[in-house]
Structure 1
């Protein structure tokens, strides 16, 4: 398996798809990286030379694309800031409810979790 910034990406897939295994790189970003590095997106990752892997790494660094641990830390810090200032979004994150205004009377099961039935005693 090829390694870029210590992250292993699969050899048998196209390089455009393999780059997306890195947290923080999606379809559009992968295409842009390959275009600037001058690499054909249809080539398999296993067929890349060391020079081409280094080119990809330098493009990622020069573009200032935040990936993997740094991106995770940044997102975690943003959530921590929201919860610490007790804004509406922070409170929703704390309680595990939908943050972006979705309805919760029905649905929202992904955020709220499995239903807990409340029994009625006579």
Structure 2
């Protein structure tokens, strides 16, 4: 099981799919990495030679921002939005959807569990 950027890449999946276990690497980027490293996308990580593993590791380290560095970058961007007080920053701060989604219904992932408001029943609600 090759270890790339602090992540154990699964041996039993195709190389293209296995690399997606790394935060910041999706399928298209994984196939791009394997193409640059001249490794077959169908080859499984357990079948990679030591030199192939090193090439893949080197390409990821040099050319892409992944894992902890990417997480830090994303958090810093969110923090910056909050500090400058823009609309997106306020939405992050309030824990509401950021990209213009509706909140009257849905948005439970961001808003959390429902908080029932007293004195409001289904029959009195506006439809």
* TM bucket, shorter chain: over 0.9
Q: Given the alignment of the two structures, is residue 13 of structure 1 paired with residue 43 of structure 2, yes or no? A: no
CA distance in 1, matches of 2:61, 2:95: 35
CA distance in 2, matches of 1:21, 1:102: 29
CA distance in 1, matches of 2:62, 2:114: 48
Q: Deviations over 1:45-102 (max 9, x none)?
A: 1111110001101222342x10000000000000000001111100000001111111
CA distance in 2, matches of 1:110, 1:61: 33
Gap change, CA 1:106 and 1:5, over 3 Å in 2: closer
Runs of 4+ residues over 3 Å off in structure 1 = none
More deviation in 84-93 or 103-112?
A: 103-112
CA distance in 2, matches of 1:97, 1:40: 43
User: TM-score scaled by structure 2?
Assistant: 0.89
Computed over aligned residues only, the root mean square deviation of the Cα atoms, in angstroms, reads 1.4
User: 1:75: which partner in 2?
Assistant: 74
CA distance in 1, matches of 2:4, 2:108: 37
Q: Given the alignment of the two structures, is residue 115 of structure 1 paired with residue 114 of structure 2, yes or no? A: yes
Q: Given the alignment of the two structures, is residue 96 of structure 1 paired with residue 95 of structure 2, yes or no? A: yes
**Secondary structure at 1:77's aligned position in 2?**
helix
Structure 1: which 5+ residue stretches go unaligned? Answer: none
